[in-house]
Amino acid sequence: MKAVVVARAASAARFPKADFSVTVSNWPETSGPLEMTFRTEYSIQGDDVRVPHDLWIDVVGEVSSLDDALGILPDAAGVLTVMISISANAAIGPIAVHSAYDDSPGLSERDFFSFSLPEPQRLPYPGRGVNLEATTALIGAVVHHPEGPRLHRAIAHYSQALLHGTPGWELMAVAHLYMAVDTLTKIVVAEERHKSGAASNRGLAQDWGIDVSQLDAEVRRRIIFQGNASVQDELNAISDAFEHGYRPIPELRSRAASVVNDAARLVRAGILKACKLDSLSTATLLGPPFEEVQPMYPITAVVKGKLRGGGSDLAAPGERHPVIEWESSVVGVQQAEGSRANYQIEARSTRNRLGHGIEFEIEQIGFVVPPGVNVSQEPVQLRYLDETDEQVSS
């Protein structure tokens, strides 16, 4: 049967406009070749402002049943999303299936699945555009690499590190970076052995003047970490302590936060160089803006003020706490240098659920992102347009 699976993923990597899509045809799969189409969904907010949201993926292929399609096709899409993620150096979330159906010709009755998924948030994730030429070159290089499956596993670990690249999750990011290095090492050892003409790992170690038991660590130090012993040693120490549980987690989390960005830069460069891309694609992906990690975190608008009044109950009847209900939307956007954009956000109070005699006085409206995140890539300006002062009386 010809099956279609429609899926989506929250994403900080973006394609340029709503009517733009990228299709990969004849992707090899055991059930038969697949066709996958990737696009970024945009909503229209405010004064005809296009706001980017999730990455959507359509996967089409021949399978024996729709149940098989739900297992095979999303996994195939995931193979490509991690390569898009490392190419843009931008986080992409897990793939969630939205719908699936039988699209075989000539039928009068077809199976159809539809899944209830949460609505994407109205405010955009900070993100960056995908360089199509360099990403296409990367995918081709991995597919045709003699160690392609192992290389892809290293890329998958790096994409997980990106996904955990927000404050509070750095320890998991460091753990995945270490696993990416561990996976990549055998590829780099083989390449160094080939370049030196050594017949074996022992021969390469002898050429380098070290014992063969030290070869993996030395290859990591010289090639993957580019001689940066402090980052390598700290990454190793944090990973070992985390895995074996001999240091406090808060301590390790703090240490991970200090090293994760430098480690990510080196590990990603090591992976891309191992792919043996053409020089132009390599320079593009290692240059601005892609040399900096783009995590995926929500822009969260916040209102600050005072609850005033002498009522004994701050919350309205039926509520556990005082509630100020309001919504945010993008009303303006200005494209800046590169993939950056400046958004103007409207905040509108819709309903206050407060106790009898309690009023809310607004002092400030702004936005928050996790501490330590650099918002300069996509700065947000928030302006307050309207307020309602509806009270719920007891």
pLDDT at 302 exceeding the cut of 50: yes
282-294 pLDDT per residue, tens: 999 999 999 999 9
Q: CA 113: distance to chain centroid?
A: 27
* C-alpha to C-alpha distance for 165 and 295, rounded to whole angstroms: 5
pLDDT at 381 exceeding the cut of 70: no
pLDDT at 392 exceeding the cut of 90: no
Contacts of 204 by beta carbon, 8 Å cutoff, 6+ apart: 189, 192, 193, 196, 198, 215
| pLDDT, mean of residues 293-310 | 83
CA-derived radius of gyration, the chain:
25
Domains of the chain, by residue range, sit at 1-124, 146-274, 300-386
* C-alpha to C-alpha distance for 364 and 39, rounded to whole angstroms: 37
Phi/psi-derived region of residue 338, left when phi > 0, alpha when psi is between -120 and 50, beta in every other case: left
152-163 pLDDT per residue, tens: 999 999 999 999
pLDDT at 335 exceeding the cut of 60: no
Contacts of 114 by beta carbon, 8 Å cutoff, 6+ apart: 98, 99
Query: Helix 148-163 vs helix 249-274: angle between axes, to the nearest 10 degrees?
Result: 140
94-140 pLDDT per residue, tens: 999 999 999 999 999 999 999 988 877 777 777 888 999 999 999 99
The pLDDT value recorded for residue 369 is 58
The pLDDT value recorded for residue 167 is 83
The pLDDT value recorded for residue 385 is 38
- 85-94, 98-107, 274-283, 343-352: which range is least confident on average? 343-352
* Beta-bridge partners for 348: 327, 386
First to last CA, the chain: 61
- Reported as a pLDDT band with limits 50, 70 and 90, residue 45 is confident
DSSP class per residue in 155-167: HHHHHHHHHT-ST
